[in-house]
C-alpha cells in the first residue's frame, strides 16, 4: 500500500535559518505529491504540489522537488520567519486507482525570533 514518512518534529529554528523537512513515500502507481500547512486553529491549506518526476513545486519561498529515484519530496526554505511556525504535512495522491489520499504524520515547525 501507499505510505508517506516525514521526519519527526518539532523542528525548532531561529528566524532566517534554512529549513529542510524530509518526506519519503511509497506508492503503487504514479503519485502526485503535496505539501500542506496547518496554522494553529486552522485547517490544512495547500502549500505546493508536484505532479510528475523532477517537477519542482514552489510557493511563499518554500520549494520541493519530486525525486522519483529517491522517492522523496523534501520541503525547503532558505530563510524562515516566525510566521512560518505551523505543522507541515506531506501527502500523496496515487493515480493508480486509490481514492484515499495518504498523509504523513505532520512535522511541527517552531521558529523563534
Contacting positions for other proteins (CB under 8 A): 31-32, 34, 36, 41-46, 49, 51, 89, 93-95, 99-101, 103-106
Q: Measure Cα distances from 4 to 1, 54, 59, 91 in Å.
A: 10, 18, 21, 7
Which phi and psi angles does 5 have, rounded to 5°? -120, 125
CB of 72 to other proteins, least distance (A): 18
Q: Measure Cα distances from 51 to 17, 28, 85, 106 in Å.
A: 28, 15, 26, 20
CB of 17 to other proteins, least distance (A): 25
- Of residues 69 and 99, the one with the C-beta less far from other proteins: 99
CB of 16 to other proteins, least distance (A): 29
- Of residues 36 and 84, the one with the C-beta less far from other proteins: 36
8 A C-beta contact, residue 92 and residue 23: no
CB of 43 to other proteins, least distance (A): 3
8 A C-beta contact, residue 103 and residue 90: yes
Amino acid at each position: 500500500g501507499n505510505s508517506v514518512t516525514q521526519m519527526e518534529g518539532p523542528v525548532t529554528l531561529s528566524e532566517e535559518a534554512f529549513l529542510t523537512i524530509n518526506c519519503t513515500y511509497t506508492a503503487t502507481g504514479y503519485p502526485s505529491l503535496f505539501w500542506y500547512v496547518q496554522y494553529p486553529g486552522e485547517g490544512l491549506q495547500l502549500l505546493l504540489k508536484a505532479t510528475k518526476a523532477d517537477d519542482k513545486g514552489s510557493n511563499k519561498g518554500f520549494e520541493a522537488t519530486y525525486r522519483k529515484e529517491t522517492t522523496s519530496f523534501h520541503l525547503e526554505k532558505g530563510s524562515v520567519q516566525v510566521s512560518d511556525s505551523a505543522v507541515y504535512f506531506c501527502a500523496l495522491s496515487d493515480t493508480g486507482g486509490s481514492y484515499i489520499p495518504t498523509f504523513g504524520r505532520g512535522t511541527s515547525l517552531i521558529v523563534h525570533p
